[in-house]
Amino acid sequence: MHLIQNSHNISVSSPEEIGNVLAKTWSEYTKNSNFGTEYVNNKNRYVNSVSPNYNIKQETKSIELPFSTLERNACLSTLKGKTP
């Protein structure tokens, strides 16, 4: 069983609770206030200059389709006997 302490020093063990604690902690570490002014200015300049391109080519739209049973089984068969 995995345990982690939340911000109130209470141990949590469910995957969802652990994920929430890690997400909140990471969010606190990555705030702009934790970085120097030069870094934040460069980051903001980059973020504000990049616009996402959501025009997906017709031939790549198949990537967005749900997995077929055959595809899922083929993928799972490559994982047999392997541990994380």
pLDDT tens for each residue of 11-56: 888 888 888 888 988 888 889 999 999 999 998 888 887 666 667 6
| Whole-number Å distance between alpha carbons of 7 and 24 | 9
Cβ atoms 12, 3 nearer than 8 A: yes
Q: What is the pLDDT of residue 84?
A: 58
